[in-house]
Structure 1
Amino acid sequence: MKNALLIVAVIALSVLFFLNCFMFPDSHEELIGEPKSEKTNLEILNNNNNNNNNNSFAVVELFTSEGCSSCPPADELMAKLQQQTGDKNIYFMAYHVDYWDRLGWKDQFSSNEFTNRQQKYQDWLHLFVMYTPQFIINGSTEFAGYNESALKQKVSDALKAKTIADLTLSSKSDKDSLEVDFKTNLLEKNTSLFVATIQKQATSNVIRGENKGNILHHVQIVRQLNSFSLTEKQGKVKILKPGNYNLKDFELIGFIQNTVTGKILITTKADLL
């Protein structure tokens, strides 16, 4: 009997360890040393990127959903960091996945395309599970969306890494589409140019599901993500406009990503003409 209880206890502890390490893979970071203060983290971010001409950057991708009760704080955290860092070379994108839609509330911004992108990151980063909210920085590091200290530290780390790669984008509006001109000094094997059409902000009144009764505020919502194999250093690509597209409420973020490793090599915002 005692042996049976011991076996059950060992199994239970093993399951808890698995969930802690893989469902929330960054949770151990907060247990090591004293957490940095908010002021210290902000000073790090500001000091690292005082010179915006050094081509260092941080691409902050958030996988989120209106159907997930733990996602709104992550959305707010991203909005907070965006406001605090101003004109730094930090590029924010929120992808609303669709696998929460089956639980009573369909996220108006959700897409299976964004779920597929998160699944690609699961492969690229060799993860055991896929979850929300999840932050990914520069396509190479990930952590759970509740960890403000990790977010600021990982962004700070990304801004320390300079690159000689360059990318410029400009976009002209047509009736139903956008023509995007690109130019880069980077042409490598297994790379693609991605162009994200971003709605800067929106509000949703959620009437069902885990966030029932809440009014959710979103920023940097990815409405479309288009990819093009990069075979030339200069060229044009064309993308469709979202139905409510306008120059005031939308922006385009372009980035070059390695399609084998997931690493983002360079990024920029498009000049909208």
Structure 2
Amino acid sequence: MEKIPNMRRFVTWLAAALIGFSSPVLAEDHPVVVELFTSQGCSSCPAADAYLATLADREDVIALALHVDYWDYIGWKDVFADPRFTKRQKAYAIAAHRHSVYTPQMIVNGVEHVVGNHPVDVAALIAKHAKTRHPISLALKEQAGVLSISASSDQVMPTPVIVQLVRYVPEREVAIHAGENAGKKLIYSNIVTEWHRLGDWDTNGPFNLQTQVQGDEPIVVIVQAPGPGPIIASARLR
């Protein structure tokens, strides 16, 4: 969510040239990105959290749990909550001309808004977006703490697209001692810990970027229209 001053300039190289690469993850598989906005202080959320866990291991889905902070006041502070994720959810609501936000909510590929504990509806939207044609090809490679991102598009987008880096923790168990879920011990999956805006790409030519990454958390790169709008490409290393 970090801002880049000039939206239309190409992203410059951020690290030294790579010496050898791991096998790339390619966006030809076009995983569908499912963002779950959730909270440990929400009694309706555990069912959605459990459903997200079933999506977490799928290769055709990138499931991401973004814990919001606006339920912290009712007795339990979510240990994963980040105000930036609340801001992202509100931005989605504004882009969709909605007047409020709620949990649990899932956003599928940046455009579909659905109640997070309605798995049949979510599954239908995943299937729908799995069939969507994607104009952008995206590849990731990582070696010795350096991530290489390359992308190309077979058409020029009407506005520059945003390239974002996401990291997440695959699983954590939390004992809830207060609030609506008091007394429960809950398991959370794919907990987002970082969401960075790497730069903007006008799609007139190839996109190439190298950046430092630390730690063993899975790496996700998302290419998205501004707004936030539709997710046009995504890829993951884990």
Q: TM-score band, normalised by the shorter chain?
A: 0.7 to 0.9
Give the Cα–Cα distance (whole angstroms) in 2 for the partners of residues 219 and 138 of structure 1: 19
AA aligned to 2:207 is: K
Is 2:167 the partner of 1:200?
A: no
* 8 A contact 2:28–2:137 mirrored in 1: no
Give the aligned partner of residue 225 of structure 1. 195
1:155 matched to 2:126: yes
Matching of residues 25-36 of structure 1 within 5 Å? none
| CA displacement 1:57-83 (0-9 Å, x = unmatched) | 311110001011111110001112345
CA contact (8 A) 2:55 2:63 kept: no
Q: For residues 190 and 124 of structure 1, do their structure 2 counterparts lie closer, same or farther at Cα, with a shift above 3 Å needed?
A: farther
Moved more, 224-233 or 135-144: 224-233
1:54–1:162 contact (8 Å) kept in structure 2 = no
Call closer, same or farther: CA 1:116–1:173 in 2, change over 3 Å.
farther
Q: Given the alignment of the two structures, is residue 144 of structure 1 paired with residue 115 of structure 2, yes or no?
A: yes
1:81 alignment partner, SS class = helix
Structure 1 residues 115 and 173 mapped into 2: Cα distance closer, same or farther (>3 Å)? Answer: farther
Inter-CA distance 143–260: structure 2 relative to 1 (3 Å threshold): same
Point out the structure with the larger strand share.
2
CA distance in structure 1 between the aligned counterparts of 2:92 and 2:144, rounded to whole angstroms: 32
SS of the counterpart of 1:210?
helix
> Helix, strand or coil for the counterpart of 2:100?
coil
Q: What is the aligned partner in structure 2 of residue 64 from structure 1?
A: 38
Looking at structure 2, the residues matched to 183 and 168 of structure 1 have their Cα atoms a distance apart, in angstroms, of: 5
Bigger Rg, which one: 1
Say whether 1:165 aligns with 2:104: no
Contact map agreement 2:221 2:235 (CA 8 A) in 1: yes
- What is the alpha-carbon root mean square deviation over aligned residues? 2.0
The one of 157, 172, 184 equivalent to 2:151 is 184
5+ residue gaps, structure 2, are: 1-25
Residue-by-residue CA offset, 1:8-65 (whole Å, 9 max, x unaligned) = xxxxxxxxxxxxxxxxxxxxxxxxxxxxxxxxxxxxxxxxxxxx98543311110001
The size of the alignment, in residue pairs, is 206
Partner of 1:78: 52
In the other structure, the counterpart of 1:43 is none
**Which of 79, 83, 87 does residue 108 from structure 1 map onto?**
79
Deviation at 1:128, TM superposition (A): 2.1
SS in 2 for 1:123: helix
Normalising by structure 2, report the TM-score. Answer: 0.80
Length-normalised TM-score, structure 1: 0.70
Shift of residue 237, structure 1, vs aligned partner:
2.9
Kindly state the Cα deviation for residue 180 of structure 1 after the two structures are TM-superposed. Answer: 2.5
**2:61 alignment partner in structure 1:** 90
Contact 2:169 2:218 (8 Å CA) reproduced: yes
Q: Deviations over 1:224-260 (max 9, x none)?
A: 1001222461012345x5xxx4x2xx20111101113
Q: Distance in 2 between matches of 1:141 and 1:237?
A: 31
Alpha-carbon distance in 2 for matches of 1:217, 1:180: 30
Partner Cα separation in structure 2 for residue 190 and residue 127 of structure 1: 24
| Equivalent pair of 2:173/2:188 in contact (CA under 8 Å) | yes
2:223 matched residue in structure 1: 256
Q: For residues 48 and 84 of structure 2, what CA distance do their matches in structure 1 show?
A: 21
Shift of 1:206: 0.6
Q: Is the 8 A contact 1:254 1:269 kept in 2?
A: yes
